[in-house]
Structure 1
Amino acid sequence: MAAAKTPNPAASPPSLSFPRATFAKLSPHPFLLAHLQPSTPDTPVRRPNGRAPSQFRVPQKHAGSLSHASGSAVVRLGDTAVVCGVRGEILLASNVGSGAGNDSDGEVQALGLLVPNVELSTGCSPAHLPGQPPSPLAQTLASRLQTLLHTANLIGADELRITYTPPVAVSDDDAGASGESPATAVAPKKEEVKAWWTLYIDVLFISLDGNPFDSAWASILAALADTRLPHAYWDPDRSCILCDDAIANSRSLRMQKLPVASTFAVYSTKHGAGRRGGEEDSNAGAGAPSKWALADPDAFEEGLCRESLTVVVDCLEGAAPTIVMLEKHGGAAVGGGEIKELIRMSTERWRVWRDLLKGNP
């Protein structure tokens, strides 16, 4: 019979530590708080993804990705990747009814000429499986994107109108009085709106790792900047709209503004693991911050933050930034002073997107 094996006292004990991914799943709030409140004052504050609280992800853009769309673009923010395609269709004025074609500022919204659609159920994340009905997040994103398209007045009605000015022949008496021949003496009538371009904007998430609104909106801006519409005109002989096949005669869309969205997730110790009997974490020093505004949050951070704020700004050269939209959801940790700082950070972020969308180095 073999002798029993005695334990080796010199052998190292089994490790009791967990990998980072396991610790993040078991105790997500302490895991995030340990990064935001390092144990030593000399340690820089770094989020679990390695970024500082005010640091955004580096954006990437590739335009013209879809060959059968009027315009398209792929935008990537870290592990969040979105593809957007723009498809133009013609809406006849005869199908709209009387009163259409006025010069009101709300013509684009009233006629529904900009139609965004968001698709998330492509397996882009474990929460969105293929074959599922549209999720509440997809419907909410589509509604927010449509509101911003109209609020920002991104595409003017003049860019989408298809007009026709019919000439009228002048009588022989009038032509003789003006010294012109009857063949050349014509006077234009009032310009008529015969149709509009309707832009169907489809946003498809390939991968989702947080901050879907900023990435979806950026993909729309990039796709619209890449959009070219064929030359469409009214043929009075056929009484229909015709499109020129020549690419040289097509035209690009002219965007009136360049609003850029920046989203921040607010993490507070009152909402996390530091909540102990209604008081904040006692381990946090008296001078230690109890809330952080995390720029461009990822999916892990979004799941731990109850409050978020989205700032959409548009900047003109040499002018103060214009706040196109400001949305705040959940909680009241962020006050007026913090919002001013977030607006300043959003202005700097606008310059990054401007250079990227316009192709500047």
Structure 2
Amino acid sequence: MASEGGPRGLPRATFAKLSPHPYLLANLEPSDEGTAPARSNGRAPRAARPPTVNNSSLTHANGSSLVRCGDTTVICGVRAETILTSDIPNFRPSNRKTELKDYDLLVPNLELATGCSPQFLPGQPPTTLAQTLSTRVYSLLHASKLVSPDDLRICGGLAKYQAAQGSVGPRLGEDRLFSDDPVPLTINGMPIASTAAIFTGKDTDRPSDGKFWLLLDPDRLEESLCDEAITVVVDKSGGETKILSITKHGEKRWDEFRSAIEESP
């Protein structure tokens, strides 16, 4: 770990704010060989923040959960609405396995509120980050087949409907039937995302000999100091570990190219 004081006896917290990159490097590569590498937040390079989960935390939603990892808190609510096939524009009988995506029946909405970070101001339109994360959640919901289309169908009076149509197989009809005994929605799996970032010792007065560190579950400050990050979504609820999604981040590299283009004559 870095010493209690930085240059000229600065407190550790002040040194970390003034020189975050050298401070993190000093913790990951301590001068004392008997000291194990650690991060500014005290965690080992490959240690993640332990999660806590509290289900049914919202009363106005059909389902909800509050998840906390360190100082990061996420609240998720799920609401279900009914819609008739006659109210779906250009509805046509299609492959039932693709109905959810064909008619956008799963709609994730992600909001980064003011309390998330000082960069999110009240009264502002949705940020690019919020829209990007919503798109990733949308893709993951369909790629993982987390929800079955059949579980979202509400059909009633099938015998009367089929007799009128002259059919014998189950079909999606306009008739609806609601039960006093609701059935919980079946979730096909449990996808979990893990993020890792690459930290190097460049751009500092202290040489690192080309070394780099893999930081698991980086916090906001660590993400700003790292060049690359990757998020992997896995699911092992069926016994076998399946990789559902891999997202690679390189925002700093993108910024470098954008600056080069803008500065080009």
Q: Structure 2 length normalisation: TM-score?
A: 0.83
Whether the aligned pair in 2 keeps the contact of 1:121 and 1:133 (CA below 8 Å) is no
SS in structure 2 at match of 1:261: strand
SS in structure 1 at match of 2:86: helix
Match of 1:254 in 2: 186
Judged with a 3 Å threshold, the aligned counterparts in structure 2 of structure 1 residues 318 and 119 are, in CA distance, closer, same or farther, namely closer
SS in structure 1 at match of 2:113: coil
SS in structure 2 at match of 1:119: coil
Residue in structure 2 matching 1:267, options 193, 199, 203: 199
Rg comparison, structure with higher value: 1
Deviations 1:271-312 (A, max 9, x none): x426xxxxxx53x36xxx711111111111011112000111
Judged with a 3 Å threshold, the aligned counterparts in structure 2 of structure 1 residues 242 and 105 are, in CA distance, closer, same or farther, namely closer
Match of 1:5 in 2: none
Tell which has more relative contact order, 1 or 2 (C-alpha 8 A, sep 6+): 1
Alpha-carbon distance, 1:157 to partner: 0.8
Residue pairs, 1:178-193, within 5 angstroms: 189-193=168-172
Listed as ranges, the gaps of 5+ residues in structure 2 are 1-6, 252-265
Cα RMSD (Å) of the superposition? 2.4
Deviations 1:291-341 (A, max 9, x none): 11111111110111120001111115543x11111111229xxxxxxxxxx
**Matched letter for residue 306 of structure 1:** D
**Matched letter for residue 193 of structure 1:** L
Match of 1:107 in 2: 99
Judged with a 3 Å threshold, the aligned counterparts in structure 2 of structure 1 residues 250 and 104 are, in CA distance, closer, same or farther, namely closer
Supply the distance in 1 between the matched residues of 2:201 and 2:192 (Cα, whole angstroms). 30
**Matched letter for residue 251 of structure 1:** V
SS in structure 2 at match of 1:41: coil
Q: Structure 1 length normalisation: TM-score?
A: 0.62
Supply the distance in 1 between the matched residues of 2:200 and 2:189 (Cα, whole angstroms). 35
Match of 1:128 in 2: 120
Query: Which consecutive segments of 4 or more residues in structure 1 shift more than 6 A?
Result: none
Match of 1:54 in 2: 46
Residue pairs, 1:147-296, within 5 angstroms: 147-164=139-156, 165-167=158-160, 189-194=168-173, 234=175, 241=176, 243-244=178-179, 246=180, 249-270=181-202, 272-273=203-204, 282=207, 284=208, 290-296=211-217
Listed as ranges, the gaps of 5+ residues in structure 1 are 1-14, 171-186, 196-233, 235-240, 275-280, 332-361
**Matched letter for residue 89 of structure 1:** E
Alpha-carbon distance, 1:87 to partner: 0.7
Judged with a 3 Å threshold, the aligned counterparts in structure 2 of structure 1 residues 126 and 86 are, in CA distance, closer, same or farther, namely same
Q: Percent identity?
A: 44
The structure with the largest strand share of the pair is 1
User: What is the count of residue pairs matched by the alignment?
Assistant: 242
